[in-house]
Amino acid sequence: MGTPDTVQQKPVHTRSKNSFLDRKITAREIIFIAALAFCFSSLITPPLALLAGILTAQLIGHPYLHLNHKAVQFLLQAVVVGLGFEMDINSAVDAGKSGLVFTLFSIAGTFILGSMLGKWLSVDRKTSHLISSGTAICGGSAIAAISPVIKAEENQTSTALGVIFILNAAALFIFPPIGHWLGLTQQEFGLWSAIAIHDTSSVIGAASKYGNEALETAAAVKLTRSLWIIPAALISSFLFKRRSGKIKIPYFILLFIAAMAVNTYIPAIRPFTGGIITLSKAGLMLTLFLIGAGLSKKVLKETGFKPLLQGIILWAVISAAGLWAVLSFI
C-alpha cells in the first residue's frame, strides 16, 4: 500500500518544479534587465548609472530587491579589487600617508559631532550612531559591520542605510562639478572625495569621473579609511556595553593591495590587466545602478526627516572641513 502513495507524490513535486522554471518573465523584469544591460554601454557614466537606477526604482520598482544588497556588496568588492590592477602600489602608499592625518581627525570629529546632533534632534541613539559611523568611515559597509555589534534593530539599521544611500546619490552629482569649479587638482579632489563621500562605490564613481589620478588617490585613502571599521566597532561595543556581536573585517582590501602589488612588481601581467580594468569599470556602473534601484519609495518614506537632517548637517560640515583642510595643507 505504501508504494502507490510514494509513486503518486513524485509527479506533484515535478510539476511544481517545472511550473517555477516555466514561469513567464514579466514586463517589469524585461525593462529592468534592459536597464541593467544599458550599464555596459559606452554611453553610460557614473551619475547616469545612478540616476537610471533611481528612476527605475521610482517608476517600475525593483523586481529583485531581496537580492540587491548582496549583489551590491559582492560587485563593489570585485570592482575595487579589479581596479587595483590599474594602480601603482608605491603611489597608493604615498596617497594613503597623505590622507592619514585627515582620516584620523575627520573620523573622530564626525563621531563627536554626530552624537551631538543626534541628541539635539532627538534621533534614536543607535540610529544616530549608525549614521555617524556611515559618514565617518565607509557608508553602508560600516553600518553593516557595526549594527550587529550594538544590537541595532532592523528599522534602526534601515533608517541609517537610507540616509547614507540618499546622500551618496547626491554626492555623485554634486562633487565633480564643485571640484572643477574650485579648480581642484586630481590629488586634491581624490583626497577630498575620500574624506567627504560616504560609500566606496560613490567615492570611486565621483573620482573616476574626475580623472585617473583622482581615482588612484581616492581609492587608496578610502580603503585605508575602511580599515577603521575594526577599531570603530570595538569602541561602539564599549559605548553600548555589548560584549557579543561579530565584527565584519573587510578582507577584500587585502585583495586590492595584492592586485596593486601584482600590477607594480609583475610586469608580465600587464597585457591582461586591460580587460580586467574594463570589466571592473563596467561593474562599477552596474553597482551604481543597483544602488539607485535600491532607493525604493518605501526606503525614502521610512528614512524620516530628523535622521535625514542629521545626516545632511553632518555631511555638510565634514565636506566643508575636509575641503578646507585639503586646500590649506595639501
pLDDT one-digit tens code per residue, 73-103: 788 788 878 888 887 787 777 766 666 777 7
The rounded distance, in Å, linking the Cα atoms of 183 and 181 is 5
Which residues fall within 8 angstroms of residue 133, CB to CB, at 6 or more apart?
111, 142, 143, 146, 160, 232, 236
The rounded distance, in Å, linking the Cα atoms of 40 and 319 is 31
Indicate the DSSP class of residue 248.
-
State the average pLDDT for the chain.
Answer: 82
pLDDT of residue 148: 80
Say if CB 100 and CB 70 are below 8 A apart. Answer: no
Tell me which of 129 and 104 has the higher pLDDT. Answer: 129
Q: Please indicate, yes or no, if residue 11 is contained in any of the structural domains.
A: no
Please give the residue range of the domain that contains residue 71: 24-329
* Crossing angle of helices 270-293 and 200-210, rounded to 10°: 120
DSSP calls for 188-239: HHHHHHHHH--SHHHHHHHHHHH-HHHHHHHHHHHHHHHTTHHHHHHHHHHH
Phi, psi of 210, rounded to the nearest 5 degrees: -80, -35
Q: Please indicate, yes or no, if residue 14 is contained in any of the structural domains.
A: no
Q: Please indicate, yes or no, if residue 195 is contained in any of the structural domains.
A: yes
Name which of 45, 285, 321, 97 is nearest 196 in CA terms: 321
Q: Please indicate, yes or no, if residue 10 is contained in any of the structural domains.
A: no
Say if CB 302 and CB 158 are below 8 A apart. Answer: yes
Which residues fall within 8 angstroms of residue 145, CB to CB, at 6 or more apart?
229, 233, 247, 248, 250
pLDDT of residue 330: 66
Cell numbers at residue 111, please? Answer: 563621531
The rounded distance, in Å, linking the Cα atoms of 326 and 196 is 11
The rounded distance, in Å, linking the Cα atoms of 2 and 25 is 39
Q: Please indicate, yes or no, if residue 252 is contained in any of the structural domains.
A: yes
Give the CA distances from residue 113 to residues 35, 53, 54, 108, 279, in Å, rounded to whole numbers and listed in that order.
40, 32, 30, 9, 39
| pLDDT tens digits, 173-231 | 899 999 999 999 999 999 999 989 988 888 988 998 899 889 888 888 887 787 788 78
Q: Please indicate, yes or no, if residue 2 is contained in any of the structural domains.
A: no
The rounded distance, in Å, linking the Cα atoms of 74 and 204 is 16
Cell numbers at residue 155, please? Answer: 528599522
Q: Please indicate, yes or no, if residue 4 is contained in any of the structural domains.
A: no
Grade residue 15 by pLDDT with cuts at 50, 70 and 90: very low
Is 8's pLDDT higher than 60? no
Residue that is written with C-alpha cell 534601515 in the block = 158
Q: Please indicate, yes or no, if residue 17 is contained in any of the structural domains.
A: no
Say if CB 277 and CB 86 are below 8 A apart. Answer: yes
Residue that is written with C-alpha cell 601603482 in the block = 88
Which residues fall within 8 angstroms of residue 159, CB to CB, at 6 or more apart?
127, 302, 303, 304, 307
How many domains does the chain contain in total?
Answer: 1
